[in-house]
Chain A
Amino acid sequence: MARTTPLNAAHRKLGGRMVDFAGWDMPVQYTGVIQEHEAVRTGVGLFDVSHMGEIEFKGPGALETANRLITNDLAKATDGQALYAGLLNPAGGFVDDVVAYRFSPEHIFICVNAANREKDFAWMKANAKGVVPVDRSDDYAQIAVQGPKGFALVQRLANKDLQGVATYRFTTGQVAGIDCIISRTGYTGEDGFELYCPPAKAEALWFALLEAGKGDGAVPAGLGARDSLRTEMKYALYGNDIDDQHTPLEAGLGWIVKLDKGEFIGAEALKAQKAKGLSRKLVGFELTEPGVPRAHYPILVDGQKVGEVTSGTMGPSVKKAIGIGYVPLSHAAEGSTFHIDIRGRPVAARVVKTPFYQRG
C-alpha cells in the first residue's frame, strides 16, 4: 500500500495522474508535463512535496551536533538562513542531500528526501554526538510555490512583509491564516517559496493558493514537471545524480563543502580526494544529433563505456535534449564530446555550460 500525503484527495479531485514515487502515491502530472513546466517558468505552479522528511535538532549544542553531520557550515549562517548541504558517509559518498534551516544555534531543522527519510533519521540518530534528533516528518506537509509570480502570490496571503526574506532565507508566519515556515527556496530555478504547514491544514492552504493565484495562471504541477525543471538547472536528484558512491566534489558541489569548518563525517575522505585529484566529474551535456538521453544509458568514448547518464530529458524551456552524467576528467571540460548509447545507436553529445536554463 503506497503512502499518501494530506493532499492526496486534492490531487485526485484536480485530475492528477497518480504514480508510485519512492513508495508514495504522487501526481506525475495533471494536464501535461510541458504545460505545467511552462506555467512554472512564466507564472506560478504549486507542488505537493509533503512526502519529504523533516528532522529536528533542538536544545543546547543543536548547531554543533548538526554541523558534524553535514558538509555546509551552520556556524557561518545567520538565524533565518537555510543551507543546501550533503549528509555524507565516512567515504565521502552521499547518504542524502538536504536543506538545513538555522532557526537559532539551539534549533536546527533539516529537510530530507522522501526516499531517504527513514535511512537519514537512523543515520543521524546513530551518528549524532550531543543533541538527539527528532523525526518531525509526520508533523509537516510541504507545498512549493514556484515561478516568477510565486513571491507575489504568497505575499498576498501572508500576514507579514516577505520582502526581507531573500533567497535561502526563511521566516515563520501565516499564509491564508495558516501557520507556516515560509522558506525562499525551491528546486525549479525560479523564485518562490516552500511552505511547511500542519498536515491538517495542507488542503486549505493548497486551495487558498490556487484560488488566489487564478489571475496569475497558478496551476498544480506534478513530479514530471518538477523533474524537467530541476534537470534544466542541473540540480542533483538523489538516487540518480548523487548517491553513496559519489562525493560532492565529483558532483560539482564543492561549494556546499566547508573543509575548514572543523570535523564532520566524510571530511577526511574529501580532503584525501581533493589532494589526489578527481578522476570523474558530473557534467551537463546536450545531444548534437536527434534523440533523448535517459538515465542509465551508457556514455561512450571511442566505443567504450566510460559512464552512465544519470538524468536526461527533452528540456521544455531549453528545447534541447539534455542530460547529466559522470565522465572521466579528460572529457569533462565544456566542449568535450562523447556519445550516448541510445538503444544501441551511438548519438553524439557535447558538454555544455550549466545550468542549461538561464532565467529571463
Chain B
Amino acid sequence: MADYPKNLKYTKDHEWARKDGNKVVVGVTFHAQEALGDVVYVELPKVGSAMTAGKQFGVIESTKAVSELYAPVTGKVTKVNQELTKDPTAVNRDPYQAGWIVEVEVASAGEVDALLDAAAYEQLLSTQK
C-alpha cells in the first residue's frame, strides 16, 4: 500500500528527507520504488562528497531502468547505506527505513522545512496520474 509518513519531507523528484539534528537522511519514496520496479543496483556517492539541492548525487537501477537520484538538500555526505550494495531490494521492501540511501550534514536545516510535506506530495502524485 502507498505510504507517505507525515514526519518526512518530499521532493517533486520523489526523494524523501528526514531531519535528524543537523543531519538529514535521504531516500526514495514509495511511489518512486514502485515506478522503478525491482531495484538491482544503487550507485552511492562517496562519504565526504558534497551534494547540491536539485543536482544528481547517485543512480538507482531497476531490472529495466536507470534513474538519477537528485539531492533534496545541499550538504556533505556523512554516511551511505552500504547494505544496499548487498541487498538493493531493501529500497522496494522498506523505502523509508532499511532502504535509506545517504545521510547528509546540512548547513541550513531550514532547507528541509521548505520541502513538500506528505499532503503536498500526495497532492502532487494525484495530479501526475
Contacts and interface: CB of A to CB of B under 8 A. Distances in A.
A12 to B, nearest CB: 16
B40 A224 contact: no
Contacts of B89: 34
B95 to A, nearest CB: 14
Nearest to A33: B63
B38 A32 contact: yes
Q: Which of B61, B64, B85 has the most chain A CB atoms closer than 10 A to its own CB?
A: B64
B104 to A, nearest CB: 22
A314 B43 CA distance: 14
B66 interface: yes
B41 A28 contact: no
A314 B40 contact: yes
Interface stretch (A118-126, A194-202, A211-219, A290-298): A290-298
A292 B37 contact: no
A291 B41 contact: yes
Interface residues of B, number: 14
Contacts of B41: 290-292, 314, 321
Q: Which of B40, B62, B63, B64 has the most chain A CB atoms closer than 10 A to its own CB?
A: B63
Interface residues of A, number: 19
Interface in B6-35: none
Contacts of A291: 41, 43
A313 interface: yes
Contact of A33 (B37, B43, B61, B85): B37
A228 B37 CA distance: 14
Interface string A294-313: 10000000000000000001
A313 B66 contact: no
Contact of A29 (B37, B43, B59): B37
Tell me if A's interface is mostly helix, strand, loop or mixed.
mixed
B103 to A, nearest CB: 20
A313 B63 contact: yes
Q: Which of B37, B43, B66, B85 has the most chain A CB atoms closer than 10 A to its own CB?
A: B37
26 contacts: A17-B37, A28-B64, A29-B37, A32-B37, A33-B62, A33-B63, A33-B64, A34-B38, A34-B63, A35-B38, A224-B64, A290-B41, A290-B43, A290-B85, A291-B41, A291-B43, A292-B41, A292-B61, A292-B66, A313-B63, A314-B40, A314-B61, A314-B63, A316-B63, A321-B41, A343-B59
Interface of B: 37-38, 40-41, 43, 59, 61-64, 66, 85, 89, 92
Given A290-B43, A313-B40, 16 more contacts: A17-B37, A28-B64, A32-B38, A33-B62, A33-B64, A34-B63, A34-B89, A35-B38, A227-B64, A292-B40, A292-B41, A292-B61, A292-B66, A313-B63, A314-B40, A314-B61
